[in-house]
Chains A and B, each alone.
Chain A
Amino acid sequence: MSIRSEPLVRVALPPRRAFSLAAWLDREAVFSWLMMAGPLLFLAALVGYPLVYGVLLSLQDRIVTKPGHFIGLKNFINDFHDPVFWRVAINTFVYTGAATLLKMVGGLALAIAMNQQFRMKNLIRALLLLPFIVPTVLSTVAWMWMLDPAFSVVNRILIGLGVPPPGPSWLGNPTLAMFSLIMINTWRGLPFYGITLLAGLQTVPPELYEAATIDGAGGWHRFRFVTLPLLKPVILIVTLFSIIFTFADFQLPYVLTNGGPENATNLFATYAFNIGMGAGQLGLGASIALMMLPALALLIVAISLYMRRA
């Protein structure tokens, strides 16, 4: 080639540097990974490592004061032979199922009620969200007082309405304690459902309702065949979030009843806490916490399949 034989051309070219830092940093991949490195290392150290370490702990007989030894699956076998563990598992499923269902139905009703024209709508929407905003522990303490065995305002209202005194023992009776737990979780989570579903409702084009009305659909049919199918994606997402965080709930049962009476409101999180922190059996506690994972996965797969079919 002639270029090679002409020294002038070579001199005119800018000297090609083997490596330019600025150009290298300017590459999308390099820039991206450098920027993400900090947060990713942080998450690896404080989420990734503890997750792996939690699995290792669950395979050890580690107690709080002494180093542990590897004992294989003994902790898990222990769990399977522990009647309290099964009680806890059933409690958690009942709690999650009932609270999620109530929040879904109640939230839908709230969204439909709010999806009308009326005055002070924004103010009312803001007030309705308050239970969801306020720290759970603080509102739970208020509920404890409202359900107090001696001075329950709920019971005093019920007695005023004709229920024989002293009224139900909301937190002392095993069944009622679970009922109260479910109700308070619903009270707190329902506004989240309601406002999210309301946003979903507002995206439904009014023409669809008009068309359905012209075709002779009544209120129920409009709801069943127009609203519900269009809301399905929103409902699915909200439900998945709700299931995960209800299933792993700690604050509410810990503060309200601490798992009692007779383990009636003990959930995976409170039981793992009591064994791991209260009794200091870190290994056994870690195994209980880990047992949440297969159960959660099962729930999520089930609800996804159900929603797809429905």
Chain B
Amino acid sequence: MMPEIDMLPFLVSVKLALVTTVILLLAGIPVALILVYSKFRGKIFAEILITLPMVLPPSVLGFYLLILFSGKYGIGKTVADITGIELLFSFNGLVAASCIHSLPYMIQPIKDGMSGLNISMIEASYTLGKSRVSTLLNVILPNIKSSIFTGILMTFVHVTGEFGVVLMIGGSIPGETRVASIALFEKVESMNYSEANVYAAVFVIISILMISLLQILKNNTRGVTG
């Protein structure tokens, strides 16, 4: 018999993944543009900093974010003083932490797409009297669509499966910070394997669907980079 499953953690996960993906998409495009097309002092340092969350153990990143987001120091204190929003053990804090943790998953594919673009196309657009914004919207972005889709899906899937950082920053508040990966962990910890099995199966299905969607989008995208 199918166990009764609390779907709330999945809804929190999807909401977190959607909000994080939208924020990172909007922030990732200008950041990638700067990294690819601008020359500035400290560029290598900026690239290392952006890539760091990809290689750092989530618990290490989670620990530093815990300190940073606490109401006593740094960003956490500033945000709390200005907006009254607490970053620790809140959905807002989860979004902030996920944005930092998933940053390279959005930036890297977009950056690779832009790097692979023929620079002559961008220059041609300028010689046709077009502005930087017009060139970005009509030439750069349409020709790296496949890279953008990759960034969106990688970010979405990564946020959905986040565990270490989420646990340290958000804990496990039902309906607020208890995401599906944490719910799965709790089911395993309480030896409720039948429910854990369903949670895990949903993750597998989501992952297969996302990879299939990525392949379909890549196959149907007209552009020059992938």
Chains A and B come from one and the same complex: no
